[in-house]
Amino acid sequence: MKKIQQILKEKGVKPSFQRIRVLECLMKSKEHPTVEMIYLKLAKEIPTISKTTIYNTLGLFEDKGLVDDLTISGQEARYDYKEKPHSHFYCKKCRNIIDIESIRVPCHKDEICGNQIEEAHYYFRGVCKRCLNKKGGDVNG
Amino acid sequence: MKKIQQILKEKGVKPSFQRIRVLECLMKSKEHPTVEMIYLKLAKEIPTISKTTIYNTLGLFEDKGLVDDLTISGQEARYDYKEKPHSHFYCKKCRNIIDIESIRVPCHKDEICGNQIEEAHYYFRGVCKRCLNKKGGDVNG
DNA sequence: TTTCGTGCAAAGCATTTGCAAGTAG
DNA sequence: CTACTTGCAAATGCTTTGCACGAAA
């Protein structure tokens, strides 16, 4: 895996200790964490870290194109490291956001109706595989 | 156009005066209004209306599948009447959300990787036709 | 020095909740 | 009456801002 410091530098972000940790957290996590989740995780090893720093850092990362703000589930922002393009699936039951690697953009090129597209975001809602299986052998409502 | 009362009834919503007005507002608007925008508009004709009622009403409409909550642009929810399936284009310049009727993403059926899809949301970011013309043409931008 | 990064505390603001008064059936 | 709707006011909770301290250049 490419060094986190290197990734930050390439994006024009000075690799401070906190920034490295925040990015590392995002890269290792598959849960598209909220600010709160990142904060709780990092607070274990950096007791003095503040949410303000997490907000600052994520805002900076977003500006630099390192992460995406997934505004899928409403009240809390969830962050996604943009390693490669992918889509998201939001499960209504367990409320997890699952990466979907396989979906790709179809027939439209870089334009739709004359509008110039820079980013395409696809997300799906439904019930995930895991919850479907649970449901099969479960009493439910 | 189908009567608003009728639409509400079909979705199992009792057509109160306020609810009719909120839905009418959404149907007539092309700007995917925020709660604030709806509130300001309706307050002109219903001076006693409250934001709580707008929130209640939109929440109810969402539950009944009448409207979508577009969480595209961050801090404020924007609402979209679900007349027929369509996608959205968010212009970074003018910050408008534009309906795109024609886009459909192909190859997935009702399942992706074993997950059961109930809704598919696509949205695009970039610069809209209008802003492109302002910029590219000789009109000042 | 100047600039930048960090983090506490307070403020800001969209949204939700508690509750009381009004309305329909 | 009984259930539902409305809306004021207060609370909640995510996020931003003001500011000060310390580190880096």
How much is the pLDDT for A62? 93
User: Tell me, what's the pLDDT at A140?
Assistant: 36
Mean pLDDT for the stretch of residues B82-111: 71
pLDDT band with cut points at 50, 70 and 90 for residue A101: confident
B64-89 pLDDT, tens digit each: 999 988 877 667 899 999 887 778 88
Give percent above pLDDT 90 in chain B: 45
Whether residue A116 and residue B125 make contact (CB cut-off 8 A), yes or no, is no
Cβ pair A121:B123 closer than 8 A: yes
B123 touches strand C (CB under 7 A): no
Q: Which residue did the predictor score with more confidence, A105 or B81?
A: B81
Closest CB to B112: pick one of A116, A121, A124. A124
Phi, psi of B111 (to 5 degrees): -135, 145
Residue A72 Cα, gap to closest chain B Cα (Å): 7
Q: Residues A116, A121, A124, A125: is their CA dihedral positive or negative? A: negative
CB-to-strand D under 7 Å, chain B 82-141: none
Angle subtended by helix axes A51-63 and A35-45, to nearest 10:
120
Q: Which residue has the higher pLDDT, A7 or A109?
A: A7
B138 vs A44 pLDDT, higher one: A44
The percentage of residues in chain B with a pLDDT greater than 70, rounded to a whole number, is: 84
pLDDT, tens digit, for every residue of A56-81?
999 999 999 999 888 776 688 999 99
Å: B45 CA to C22 C1': 20
Q: CA-to-CA distance for A48 and B62, rounded, in angstroms?
A: 41
| Position with higher pLDDT, B6 vs A133 | B6
- Quote the CA–CA distance of B120 and B106 in Å, as a whole number: 11
Asked whether residue B73's C-beta has any atom of DNA/RNA strand D within 7 A, the reply is no
Out of B115, B116, B122, the one facing A122 most closely (by C-beta) is: B122
pLDDT reported for residue A102 = 55
- Report which of residues A91 and B138 the model is more confident about: A91
| CA angle (A12, A16, A17) in 5-degree steps | 145
State whether A128 and B117 contact (CB < 8 Å).
no
Residue B117 CA to residue B89 CA, distance in Å, equals 22
Per-residue pLDDT at B80: 92
- Chain A interface test: which of B88, B110, B112, B135 (most A C-beta within 10 Å): B112
Q: How confident is the model at residue B139 (pLDDT cuts 50, 70, 90)?
A: very low
> Residues B38-64: pLDDT tens digits?
999 999 999 999 999 999 999 999 999
What is the rounded distance in angstroms from the CA atom of residue B127 to the CA atom of residue B65? 30
CA–C1' distance B124–D13 (Å)?
30
Rounded to a whole number of angstroms, the distance from the CA of A3 to the nearest CA of chain B is 30
Residue A94 contacts B where some CB pair is shorter than 8 Å: no
Residue A50 has pLDDT above 80, yes or no: yes
- Identify the three-state secondary structure at position B125: strand
A118-129 per-position pLDDT tens digit? 878 888 888 888
A89 Cβ under 8 Å from any chain B Cβ: yes
User: Of B104, B121, B126, which is closest to A116 when you measure between CB atoms?
Assistant: B126
Residue B14 reports pLDDT greater than 60: yes
**DSSP bridge pairs for A100:** A87
Structure tokens at A115: 């509008």
| pLDDT exceeds cutoff 60 at B106 | no
pLDDT of residue B120: 81
Q: Is the pLDDT of residue B111 over 70?
A: no
Measured CA to CA in angstroms, residue A59 lies from A25, A62, A84, A87 at distances of: 15, 5, 20, 21
Alpha-carbon torsion (B53, B40, B61, B63), positive or negative:
negative
Which among A117, A126, A132 has CB closest to B124?
A117
Query: Which of B96, B94, B89, B99 has the alpha carbon at shortest distance from B123?
Result: B89
* Residue range A34-40: mean pLDDT, rounded: 96
Tokens of B79: 């609402």
| Residue partners of A102: CB distance under 8 A and separation at least 6 | B112, B113
**Arithmetic mean of pLDDT over chain A:** 83
